[in-house]
Amino acid sequence: MSNTDFYIRRLHSICGVAPIGVFLLEHIFSFSTVLAGPEVFDATVAHLASIPLPVLLTLETVFIFIPLLFHGIYGAYIALQAKNNIAQYGYSRNWQFYLQRMSAWYTFAFLIWHVGYLRIYIKAMGNGEIGYALLHTYLSNPVVFVLYAIGVLAAIYHFTNGLFTFCITWGIAVGPRAQSMVNKAAWALCILLSVVGLVALSAYVA
Ligand code: HEM
């Protein structure tokens, strides 16, 4: 690996945690406000909409679109190069590695659909108003609901397992004991966020 590859890979790694991972956490929190009632979710949306458009677009571009585009495209390049060796070794870490790749691909396709429809077609192009009513109708389609549920799970798994590999990549978890502890913590976070995400998603169709 050349020096440039090394730094690009490190940048790819850090982008996954911040700003993208931090945004994912914020996003799960925002869409979960529906659990307090449709009007609370609509108030969250109104609050975000109150940010002046040039400020919102700058923040979205610098902290979400550019890092996500870079992480997604370079991630696809890495994923195409990596060898999935679950057939050779049945160990759980290899499964985690395989799922990390699979969840990356699903998240990639899901985000194009999710952002393309809700952020660009509906919001930017003015084809509707984002809010509980629209999401209720949208997610009441069982196919959309299932694809969204898988999207939420894939993004959460990819992120939380990514936190575990991040700790290895950056030398935060050195040695089998530390790695096993971080792995367990990442799984716990994965389960917690998945439950919150799925319960919140269901609240849109309740
Ligand atoms: C919700 C959006 C995403 C988040 C929060 C996210 C987060 C992360 C994190 C935290 C890591 C771990 C970095 C490390 O091991 O040092 C990671 C790794 C990775 N991500 Fe993402 N990611 C997202 C979307 C994507 C997409 C769309 C792709 C493209 C297919 C992708 C491909 C990858 C790959 C291949 C790795 C492993 C890199 C390696 O082996 O060094 N990610 N991601």
Model-level pTM?
A: 0.94
Number of domains comprising the chain = 1
What's the chain's Rg over C-alpha atoms? Answer: 18
Q: Where are the alpha helices (DSSP H) in 33-170?
A: 38-49, 53-60, 66-81, 92-114, 132-139, 142-169
User: Within 6 Å (CB) of ligand 1, which residues are found?
Assistant: 13, 16-17, 20-21, 24, 71-72, 75-76, 78-79, 104-105, 107-108, 111, 155, 158-159, 162-163, 165-166, 169
For residues 203 and 206, give the distance between their C-alpha atoms in angstroms, rounded to a whole number.
5
Query: Residue 168 is part of which domain span?
Result: 3-82+92-203
Q: What is the pLDDT along the chain (206 residues), one digit of tens a residue?
A: 789 999 999 999 999 999 999 999 999 999 999 999 999 999 999 999 999 999 999 999 999 999 999 999 999 999 998 776 655 555 888 899 999 999 999 999 999 999 999 999 999 999 999 999 999 999 999 999 999 999 999 999 999 999 999 999 999 999 999 999 999 999 999 999 999 999 999 999 98
Ligand 1 centroid–CA 72 distance in Å is: 7
How many Å apart are CA 70 and CA 62, to the nearest integer? Answer: 11
Helix, coil or strand: residue 87: coil
| Within a domain: 118 | yes
Chain-centroid distance, C-alpha 23? 8
CATH number at residue 76: 1.20.1300.10
Is 185 inside any structural domain?
yes
Is 87 part of a structural domain of the chain? no
3-state SS, residue 4: helix
